[in-house]
Amino acid sequence: MAIPPGKCPQVGGIPNCPPFTEKDCIEVFKVYDQCATEELLGSCVRAADHCTAPIPPGATITCNVVPNTARCFFVGFGPFNPPFFRPVLVFNEVQVSVTVTSDGTVICPTFTITLQGITQAFMWAPDGTFVQCQVLAVGPCTCDVTTDPATGDQLICCRVKVCKEIQIKALVKLLVPSYGFCELNPCVAVPQPEFPCPPTQPLFPPQKCQDTPVVTVQTAPGVGLGGVTVSLIRAGTTITAVTDVTGNAPFPTVGGFAGGIDTIQFTDPVTTKVVSFALPVEFTDPTGALHDSSTACTILFVRAGVGLATFNVFIDGIQNGTVDP
Q: Are residues 137 and 253 in the same domain?
A: no
Residue 103 located in a structural domain: yes
pLDDT tens per residue across span 270-298: 999 999 999 998 888 888 888 888 889 99
Q: What is the mean pLDDT of each run of 10 residues along the chain (325 residues)?
A: 77 85 91 93 95 91 96 94 90 96 92 95 93 96 94 95 95 90 73 54 66 93 93 93 95 89 94 94 87 89 91 93 90
> Cα angle vertex 303, ends 213, 283, to 5°?
55
Q: What is the pLDDT at residue 160?
A: 96
Residue 16 located in a structural domain: no
Please identify, among 173, 205, 239, the residue that sits at the C-terminal boundary of a domain.
173
For the chain, count helices (H), then strands (E).
0, 23
Q: Are residues 146 and 222 in the same domain?
A: no
Residue 200 located in a structural domain: no
Residue 3 located in a structural domain: no
Q: Are residues 107 and 158 in the same domain?
A: yes
Say which amino acid occupies 42. Answer: G
What is the C-alpha to C-alpha distance for residues 12 and 9, in angstroms, rounded to an integer? 10
Residue 235 in contact with residue 196, Cβ under 8 Å?
yes
Q: Are residues 239 and 299 in the same domain?
A: yes
Q: Are residues 44 and 161 in the same domain?
A: yes
Q: Are residues 44 and 167 in the same domain?
A: yes
- Per the structure, the complete domain to which residue 52 belongs is given by 30-173
What is the C-alpha to C-alpha distance for residues 314 and 292, in angstroms, rounded to an integer? 13
Residue 292 located in a structural domain: yes
CATH code at position 293:
2.60.40
Q: Are residues 263 and 319 in the same domain?
A: yes
Residue 304 in contact with residue 311, Cβ under 8 Å?
yes
Q: Are residues 60 and 112 in the same domain?
A: yes
Say which amino acid occupies 254. Answer: V
Residue 249 in contact with residue 216, Cβ under 8 Å?
yes
What is the C-alpha to C-alpha distance for residues 211 and 236, in angstroms, rounded to an integer? 25
Residue 302 located in a structural domain: yes
Q: What is the pLDDT at residue 205?
A: 59
Q: What is the pLDDT at residue 199?
A: 47
Please identify, among 146, 173, 200, the residue that sits at the C-terminal boundary of a domain.
173
Residue 87 located in a structural domain: yes
Q: What is the pLDDT at residue 15?
A: 85
Q: What is the pLDDT at residue 206?
A: 61
Q: Are residues 144 and 220 in the same domain?
A: no
Please give the full DSSP string across 21-85, using - where no structure is assigned.
-EEEEEEEEEEEEEEEEEEEEEEEEEGGGT-SSPPPTT-EEEEEEPTT--EEEEEEE---SSTTE
pLDDT tens per residue across span 171-230: 999 999 988 877 777 777 666 565 555 444 555 556 778 889 999 999 988 899 999 999
Q: Are residues 47 and 143 in the same domain?
A: yes
Among 131, 153, 132, 142, residue whose Cα is nearest residue 46: 153
Q: Are residues 149 and 218 in the same domain?
A: no
Residue 234 located in a structural domain: yes
Q: Are residues 37 and 169 in the same domain?
A: yes
Please identify, among 118, 142, 173, the residue that sits at the C-terminal boundary of a domain.
173
The model scores a pTM over 0.75: no
**Looking at the 3D structure of the chain, how many domains does it have?**
2
Residues paired with residue 288 on neighbouring β-strands, in sequence order: none
Residue 173 in contact with residue 25, Cβ under 8 Å?
yes
Residues paired with residue 134 on neighbouring β-strands, in sequence order: 165
